[in-house]
Structure 1
């Protein structure tokens, strides 16, 4: 599969190769021409150096003849050394065109040096006239050298005139070739860029059109892109997404009605569960009978029996009327105390009950029949099996946002598996409960009532079990109802 990145790198490599080829070609021809120019210029400079050196030698000789001292002699020796170096450099300029003239030129340089030495020799021998003649001859030779230099330069100019013209013609041809080459490269790059961009934009346009159709709800149109890069893969994934969305929409439409039916069934089931829990409680006539017995016992002087029957009657009245709606914590505590009065009459000294209630928290809303099943569970499993009975501690503690209700016993404790089952609502305990409402049922109703999962904590060990209810002071539904209207 050719990736888009590979195509871009290919385009960059082609452009770079063309630019590099042009640069190398132009650099090569430019360097070649420059080297030729430098070679010719060096020939001219070497010949001109001979003329300059010969004139400097004559000047130094004249200066020494007028003032023969060590400084002028040193200057003269330097001039002679310079003309000897110039002679050695001129030797390299020999070719078939200037062989004869260059030979005479070399002889003139040698004659100049020899005549200069002869003038110095005559001066040292006090032969002033001969020294002056030698100086005059050296001056004449220097003039011949200058004339010969001009002659050689003229010969060089004639020799390289064809070369100059060739360079000019080559530069003109190179310029024309550069223009045509630039036009050709521009055309090829435009063509290649058009093909490259077309291979990317055409599939993208198809994807764009497909996206527009999907936005209009046309999930039945197949997406096809003829490409061999990432866009083709994207198109396949896009088509697969279209199929999945289409299938999902069909599933949603099929499940929508089923979801509605299940919701209705759930509501009916919850209502039937509430009615079923109520139906497990003894009917009204039992309450009326107990009320009658309580009054009869009071009239007969059995006040303790009367109070006990009144507690049972109050407990039954509460169970029959308050299960399907919320109550205050005050009402729950009141019925809990009635329940404990009944249990104290049953267990006598074996049951020790301690209550610590913060009365400022008693107006908090709570589901009916919440505290009694938890306390009854503690009585059945922690107090009743023990020979010496046990203690139950009931606390209501105020917090910032929640009220903590603690029910603690000193029984043998509860197994971890059972705690897990209760908190996960896997078990509904009804056996032995006067209300028919088990611990797990209480947990489930609390979570439904407050819309929270962390509403209850159970801590258990060998020293007993502690159940803590964390009751919000304001329910989530009440928060929504009390929220200010932003409309």
Structure 2
């Protein structure tokens, strides 16, 4: 992983590298031009030094001839040495163009030294006239040297004229090259800086966008950042935080759902307890009164009225005892028979009831007071409002692992919205039910009892007239008969 600090250091190193390359290139070309100027200047200075040294030699010789002292003689020797050094430097300047001229120039220098020595020799021999003539000759040679120097300098100027102009043009081109190099380097640095900044800002922008999405509650979007620095590590930690928050929210939602289910179950239990309490208002007085009326009707010869009162008493006793307890299909079918006897007394021939029961299934366990509310719902909506009454079919069919219980009527049927409302356990009214328990209550209790949602279904509408309630009861769950019998005896 390359850190942001390393990236910044790399950017600084690249900038310094380019600056160093430009500086070295410009310095090299400037030094090269400067060396060329120095070489030409040294040629001019070397030639001018010959003229100066020759003039100093003639002046020193004149001083000695006027005043022959050791000091003046030493001055002559020093001047001659300077002439020899200047001659050596000029000889190094020889080339193909000035070879002949420099040869004559060297001869003049040698003649000057020789004439000076001859003048000194004549002076030492007291030959004043010859010494003077030699001095005059040395003066004339010195003038020739000066003129020859000017001639050579003029020739050098002509020779290096194109060179001078080339250097000037080269300087101009070098300036242009420097400007273009500077612009190119600036462009490349800007391009590199832009790419470098994008490598930092793009992941930051992605993190910012992800943070905005998280602030809006979208915890399902994965955070992906393509980077190899600290921002990548930050993005991974950010994504891990998103996953943890999402898991936490899911857990909270699940807990809230469980709490909602628990609250709904508590309300259902409270409702059942309330219904039970409402049904238990002075039950002994009610049962005693019904028994008294039944015996009185029997003594008076009204046997049908007596049977009706017995069925009503049994039905009420069952409703009070069995609402919150599991029973068998046998007990539910028996109380359903009593309920139908009561309704036939009311509707006479308007109510037709047909039962098809597989007695091998009657031991299967079922919540108490399940069948009567469904049949009662069929009586209220399929028989009571019809002028000709209606028919109700009751079937218990054995299966491999389930027992099918069907309650069907030939009434006007049930709307799809009503079926959906009941199966989704939405609050529905239970008006007209003697038990105060509607279909919605039955659906909830069956699902809670068996722990599954597909235990009951409702078919109605379409080409089929009427309504059919189908219950798929697991056959594996059995009632512990001993407990029920002992509780019944109690």
TM-score, length basis structure 1: 0.50
Q: Quick check: which has more Rg, 1 or 2?
A: 2
